[in-house]
Structure 1
Amino acid sequence: MVHGTDFRKAPLSTAEFAAIGDGRLAYVKPILSEELNALFPQAPELEPGLALYALLGADGSPIVVADTREALIESAREHELVTVSLH
């Protein structure tokens, strides 16, 4: 708040998130194997409790999954994507 003015804005729409970074921005999200099929329905079922990393577009659309963060970052580079991590 600046001098009594509230600058909060409504959340961005899916299209607005998709436009961030001109479609070249993606984020890394740690997930468990139990969450895999919700993001990637075509993925095979894995044993529960495995730590994985998903690369998602700025709008949340799934791109790729890997078992290490390093492999995921390398895949993003190959596809000329800029990655960010969320905390």
Structure 2
Amino acid sequence: MIEKRTAYPDLQDGTPNPLKTLTAEQFAALGGNAVAFVRPITGTDLSDMITDADFEDESIYQLVMSADGTPLLVTDTDEAVDDWLTEHKLGLVSLH
């Protein structure tokens, strides 16, 4: 018989799992320089973030960011993202 388990079990002594009580800053620091996430972003939004570059307003770009939210790479292809992540030995996490 399969045992029913909670998705985020508390510790044996009944105290909450420490991961449940992390601040946003502590959570971001968990990834350090080891993980990144990718999100699609319009040229218009990129132009607001990066004022010294020209982006086509209606184009969709891929923005790679570190766990703490620091922008790392902007590109217009998934292949460039894959190559860059491999070159920099970063893991990719998904956003929920």
TM-score (norm 2): 0.67
CA deviation string 1:32-66 (max 9, x = no partner): 11111344344x22221101000000011000111
| Aligned-CA RMSD value | 2.6
CA distance in 1, matches of 2:86, 2:68: 19
- Bigger relative contact order (CA 8 A; separation at least 6): 1
CA distance in 1, matches of 2:49, 2:86: 21
Partner residue in 2 for 1:78: 87
Q: Which runs of 5+ in 1 are unaligned?
A: none
Give the alignment partner of residue 26 of structure 1, picking from 33, 36, 42.
Answer: 36
Percent identity over paired residues: 30
TM-score (norm 1): 0.73
Q: Which has the larger radius of gyration?
A: 2
Q: Which has the higher strand share?
A: 1
**Number of aligned residues:** 82
Q: Which runs of 5+ in 2 are unaligned?
A: 1-8, 10-15
CA distance in 1, matches of 2:91, 2:22: 25
**Does 48-57 or 72-81 show the bigger shift?**
72-81
Please give the secondary structure, in 2, of the residue aligned with 1:85: coil
CA distance in 2, matches of 1:60, 1:24: 13
